[in-house]
Amino acid sequence: MTMQEKAADIMQILDELYPETPIPLSHQDPYTLLVAVLLSAQCTDERVNKVTPFLFAKADNPFDMAKLEVEQIKDIIRPCGLSPRKSQAISSLSQILVDKFEGRVPDNFEDLEALPGVGHKTASVVMSQAFGVPAFPVDTHIHRLAWRWGLSDGKNVEKTEADLKSIFPRDTWNKLHLQIIYFGRGYCPARGHNPSQCPICSKYGRAELFQ
């Protein structure tokens, strides 16, 4: 079986299990998505979704957010972890959006990744889900599953992203990365995983998983 044949079969399995892929982070527009994704670093989407209503009640746009004291932001987002760094990033990027972009989130990787606290993965999520630009955000979960399924060698997330982009059709990336996230949560968790009962690992899992 070729890699493309394996990829096609994996996509079919994911399409059957997750035909719809709602974005797991609650948001209203590109700005609130950007903030939510930033908050999700080393934090669950569920917890982020509990915190953002309180934050966005205070400020759901960069103009209002830039007026808040960093301490105010930090107190609200504390449950998400890394609150000193995240609150400073949210405050700083909001001011930059006001000063340089008339309050709009830029729709290109270069400007997004230049914002405080915004790395390539965060920018990829915003580009794909807010602007519909094909991207393949790779977090630790997708990185893990790509290795388990023999789609990448697992050296680093950059290599995994490149490998997945070379295997799967460009027009599937935006939906596929969400499908893999949902699949990982439902069938292929980091701990307590039984590969023989996993719809994909049972067919394509690396031999190391069954030892």
Q: Please list the active-site residues.
A: 121, 139
Calpha distance 78→87 (Å, rounded): 9
DSSP 114-154: TSTT--HHHHHHHHHHTT--------HHHHHHHHHTTSS--
Is the Cβ–Cβ distance between 194 and 180 less than 8 Å? Answer: no
- The number of residues in the chain equals 211
In a 3-state reduction of DSSP, which class is residue 96? helix
